Every structure is written in structure tokens, then in C-alpha cells.
Amino acid sequence: MSTEQIYKEFLQSSGVCTDTRQVLEDSLFFALRGDQFDGNRFVEDALNKGCRLAITERKDLAGSGRVVVVSSTLEVLQQLAHYHRMQVAPRLIAITGSNGKTTTKELLAAVLSKEYTLLATRGNLNNHIGVPLTLLKLNREELALVEMGANHPGEIAELARIAAPEVGLITNVGKAHLEGFGSLQGVLDAKSELYAYLAKHGGTAIIDGRDQKLMRKADELGVACKVVAPKGDLPVAVNLISQTPFLDVELLLGEEVYPFSTKLVGAYNLQNILLAAATGVHFGVSGNAIAGAISGYLPDMQRSQMLEGGRNKLVLDSYNANPSSMREA
């Protein structure tokens, strides 16, 4: 069965499922394999629970009703996701980086939602499975905001190929997943695969002008850039007013100043605010709307959370860590 034929089934289905514990009636079940699981063992269970179609690598099920046998279930899922993304054709923004990508994504989602219908990656479903599942939830939104994670070279390039972004952000490059990338230069090269995709396909990178590593890499790869700097393409800056413990900041858009309070702790979040605000400006969101969106954002998922109990306050920022993020903390 071709991608186009599977897509016709997808359009008539209730969605995509990869876990029979959560199988949806009339869904497409993709039997994925991993190091610790094999969905091919549960095809019969998915069919019994009412899935519309099961896509599996089990050759013994060839010819069975409501079963499509393929050589790689994952590749078919990725192909379907790319096909759907191109059919619904939202403007798509990709975010990657060693630290801060999920918080930046959440802040940016809040900002862009002020002006656009938007689909954003839920949580950190940012890998070779999570990105396709995110894309398959698109439903004629104006914008899509897709987080991309990687721990080996080539993975960002593949995710970019699937998602086809027109705008990309790399939050920073730090000592994350060195076991897969080998060195800090390896991290930079891997994250910059996003720039390489944008350069090849006429996209735009939004870059913090203070990050000389990323500025040099963007120049090397020839990607069109919007530089975030007081006198840059996106004249945006964020100044810290106080942190007691939440950040009070002022957002500078050219000559305009927008002071506001946040529910974020830690000065390391200033760059996350900056990139979210600058990207909002790139997409035409007003300063007041940006300030209101970021001010109203409430952190969760163990990222920059403040928990209070009695006379005690606990900063919970433990979802993930690497040497660079620990230094900032």
C-alpha cells in the first residue's frame, strides 16, 4: 500500500496510535519497534480493540484483513507525517538546542497563539517518533511549532527533512549528549544540521547575535538569518529588573519598552524569553501581546517551577540536566 493510499485511510480514521493500552477506536495502529519494546507483538490486540488499520513488519500477517505489512513501520510513519505536513501546509518553525528548547518552545507557543492558530509539540515529544506524531495532529492550523532533539549526528537533518520548517531556532550549543556527538564541536555540527536544511530550502534562521559560535556556523552554511540584537534585523532585547525569586524584566523592541513580571525563576531564562519574543516580532506579534503572553506563562513539567509549602519554597528544575545547564543553574 502506497503512502497516498495509507493517507486516505488516515483521513478517514480517528488518528494514529502506537500503544494498544491507548488504542483509539478506528485509529491507524503503527507497530513500532525499539530497544525495549516491540509493537508487532500486539497487532492482534490492536485489531481486537477496533483499530481501523494496523501497519506492521510481521510477514506472517500478510493478506490479513485490516493489516498492512511493510519493511519498516517507523519509515512509513515518518513518510505519512511528512506527506500530511505538506498537504496541510502550515508555516512551520523548528526549535533545537542543548538547553532551553522546551521552555523556549512553550513561551513561543504562548506568544504566537495571540495572533495565530497553532499546533506545538506537546511536552518534549521531539525525537524520530515524537516529531511525526506531532505532525500527524496538524489540522489546518496557521502555524506549527516543532521541537527537535537529538543525541547522534544526522538526527536533526532527518527530523528537518520530515517536518520541512521554514524558520529555525537553535537556542544554544552546550555539553549535552557528548557520548553521541563526541565533542562540543560535534554538538555544534549536529544542531547546525537545522541551518543546513534551511539554507538548502530557502528558510530563515533566527539567531541571538551574541552567540558567536552560531553566527559563524550560520555564515559558513550560507543560511539566511534574522539576527536578534539591539541594532539587528530583529531589534529586541530583554533586561532583568529583579528576581525575587520570579523574573521581572523589561522587553525592548526598538525604542519601545514593555516591563512585565513572569513566573519564571533563574536568569538563564532571559535568553529563552528573548528568543520567544524575537520570533514573535518576526511573525508580527505586538509588544503588548508578547509581554502579556510571557507574563501569563506558568512553568510546569519540572522546568523552572516554583513550589511552595508552608514557609518553604522549592525551585523544581530537574527534568533534564547536562554540564551546561547545571552551570547555568
CATH assignment at residue 158: 3.40.1190.10
The C-alpha cell that represents 180 in the structure block: 553521541
Query: Distances in Å between the alpha carbon of 260 and those of 150, 256, 267, 268?
Result: 34, 13, 15, 17
pLDDT of residue 266: 92
Q: Would you say residue 81 lies in a domain? A: no
Measured CA to CA, the distance from residue 325 to residue 269 in angstroms comes to 11
Note the helical H segments in the chain: 3-12, 43-48, 73-88, 101-112, 130-135, 155-163, 178-181, 184-191, 193-201, 212-221, 269-282, 287-295, 323-328
Measured CA to CA, the distance from residue 252 to residue 46 in angstroms comes to 53
Residues 225 and 156 in one domain: yes
pLDDT of residue 249: 98
- The last residue of one of the domains, among 27, 43, 73, is 73
Examine the pLDDT at 320 and tell me if it is beyond 60: no
Q: Would you say residue 307 lies in a domain? A: no
Q: Would you say residue 321 lies in a domain? A: no
Residues 164 and 221 in one domain: yes
Residues 98 and 235 in one domain: yes
Q: What is the pLDDT of residues 78-118, one digit of tens each?
A: 999 999 999 999 999 999 998 999 999 999 999 999 999 99
Q: Would you say residue 94 lies in a domain? A: yes
How many Cβ atoms from other residues are within 10 Å of residue 95's Cβ? 29
What is the rounded (10 degree) CA torsion for 222, 227, 233, 237?
A: 180
- The last residue of one of the domains, among 27, 46, 73, is 73
Q: Would you say residue 313 lies in a domain? A: no
Residues 65 and 105 in one domain: no
Q: At what angle do helices 73-88 and 155-163 cross, to 10 degrees?
A: 40
Residue 307 identity (one-letter amino acid): L
Examine the pLDDT at 73 and tell me if it is beyond 80: yes
Examine the pLDDT at 184 and tell me if it is beyond 90: no
Measured CA to CA, the distance from residue 172 to residue 211 in angstroms comes to 8
- What CATH number does the domain containing 60 carry? 3.40.1390.10
- The last residue of one of the domains, among 73, 102, 131, is 73
Residues 108 and 66 in one domain: no
Measured CA to CA, the distance from residue 210 to residue 234 in angstroms comes to 13
Residues 62 and 142 in one domain: no
Residues 54 and 143 in one domain: no
Q: Would you say residue 21 lies in a domain? A: yes
Residues 235 and 192 in one domain: yes
Residues 119 and 18 in one domain: no
Total domains in the fold of the chain:
2
Question: Residue 313: pLDDT band by 50, 70, 90 thresholds?
Answer: low
Q: Could you tell me the pTM of the whole model?
A: 0.89
Q: Would you say residue 314 lies in a domain? A: no
Measured CA to CA, the distance from residue 43 to residue 53 in angstroms comes to 10
Query: What does pLDDT average to over the chain?
Result: 91
Which strands sit side by side in the sheet containing 236-243, from one edge to the other?
236-243, 246-253, 256-265
Query: Distances in Å between the alpha carbon of 119 and those of 71, 126, 185, 195, 303?
Result: 31, 14, 32, 22, 21
Q: Are 84 and 138 in contact (CB under 8 A)?
A: yes
Cell 513539567 belongs to which residue? 301
Instruction: Give the residue-averaged pLDDT of 15-36.
Output: 93
pLDDT of residue 151: 86
**Structural domain harbouring 64:** 3-73
Residues 96 and 69 in one domain: no
Q: How far is CA 31 from the centre of its chain?
A: 24
| Best CA proximity match to 212, nearest among 188, 183, 236 | 188
Residues 186 and 130 in one domain: yes
Q: Would you say residue 220 lies in a domain? A: yes
Question: Residue 324: pLDDT band by 50, 70, 90 thresholds?
Answer: very low
pLDDT of residue 161: 98
Residues 94 and 189 in one domain: yes
